[in-house]
Amino acid sequence: MCFFYNKKLVRPSFMIRGTIMTTNQLMFMYAVEEMSFSKAAQKAFVTQQCLSNHIHRLEVSCGVKLFERTPHLQLTEAGKTLYQSFIQIRDIEEGTLQKLKTDTSSIHGTIRFGTHLNRARIFLIDPFLEFHEKYPDVELDVYFIHSAYTEKVLDEGTADVILGANCTALANTRADRIGEEDIVFLASPDLLKERIPDWDESRKTLTRKELSMIPLTASSNISIMAQNLHRTMLKAGFESKYIFKIEDNNAQMAICKSGKAAMFCPENQLIKADLSCHSEISSSAKLQVLKLENYSDFMSIDLITSAQRNLPTYVTDFCSMIRTYYQDQIQKVRAEYLPWSNNQYYSEITLH
């Protein structure tokens, strides 16, 4: 006998409106989501023995073992296969329900979107406002994740789409490269003149020797950009001096505007950016956007999805809106700040 607590059953995050599952299957999905029978039972408002009995019956009906209980709870290969099948069923159902509706305003669903906090601020707000006008009942759930976990979260269905940098398409993923960016250098006029006495504000480049004279703010060394730059400076015989390290680009920009340090950043950080900065010389001073001489390092921007899943149309629509917004804004950045730019990537892809 199975005893349910006198509470409303909470729908797991993987379920959608209208999904039909047996109780055995539902308890299995709770267990996978929590990877703990006790936590899964609490979430489903049943006893742990009740949940365990349902999973046992599912194992018997499938003729396979779904979980290894020791040394800790984990899915067997058969369990992983069953879980992936349920995720695919969810995707097919979401897509089918959407196709049955001609009015997008009546479509319900959720987009599970993974990215870095800094990219979320730049890439998601304006596209989401456009998307929300078309799909008012589709929710956007954003998860902040590291690119190293891309394949895992896509396979598990934790995320439908990941917006990453310098991503490589893995066996079970699709990579849609929406752009490639220059790495640029930002510094206040006061800092440049303080550290480089003969500095000319009309210059657009910086030598490596001059760079070694300037204190920097940056993200931690796990950043691909930071690692590449560090190797370049060491190869040239110079050491960069970092005085403030933090993952938040807004904090880096604030330090840069104060005139205490300079920073490297990808082009996307200049999208709708306010470059006004503190200056003892001018009340209208702005950060200078420069390029490091003889340094060529591009960063790709990629939208990653699972190659094994059929995503609803509203997910692909949102990705298309992100692509269009991003490429339009990068063109504006290039026109305003990067006169030296010879990256033809955007002019080529916008023709298609």
Looking up residue 121, the CATH number of its domain turns out to be 3.40.190.10
Instruction: Identify whether residues 318 and 249 lie together within a single domain.
Output: no
Given 260, 282, 299, the domain boundary residue is 299
Residue 5 to residue 10: CA distance in whole angstroms: 12
Which pair of tokens denotes residue 28? 């299995």
Do 6 and 76 belong to one domain? yes
Domain end position, chosen among 299, 316, 333: 299
Whether residue 214 sits in one domain with residue 160: no
| Cα–Cα dist 30/42, whole Å | 10
Q: Tens digits of per-residue pLDDT, 43-56? A: 888 899 999 999 99
37 and 123 together in one domain: no
pLDDT exceeds cutoff 90 at 194: yes
Mean pLDDT of the chain: 83
Looking at the predicted structure, is the pLDDT value of residue 243 above 90?
A: yes
Whole-number Å distance between alpha carbons of 181 and 176: 15
Provide the pLDDT for residue 350: 38
Would you say 139 and 110 are in contact if contact means Cβ atoms under 8 Å apart?
A: yes
Element (H, E) at 32: helix 23-34
| Average pLDDT for 8-31 | 66
Residues 187 and 289 in one domain: yes
> Do 221 and 291 fall into the same domain?
yes
Q: Domain boundary residue among 57, 80, 100? A: 100
- 117 with 45, same domain: the answer is no
185 and 275 share one domain: yes
The reply to whether 193 and 285 lie within a common domain is yes
Beta strands in 19-165 (DSSP E): 67-68, 74-75, 109-115, 138-144, 161-165
Higher pLDDT among residues 174 and 347, named by residue = 174
State both tokens at 12.
């797991």
211 contacts 292 by C-beta, under 8 angstroms: yes
Look at residue 253 and tell me whether its pLDDT is greater than 70. yes
Instruction: Assess whether 272 and 328 both reside in one domain.
Output: no
Domain with 326 in it: 108-180+301-349
Domain count, the chain: 3
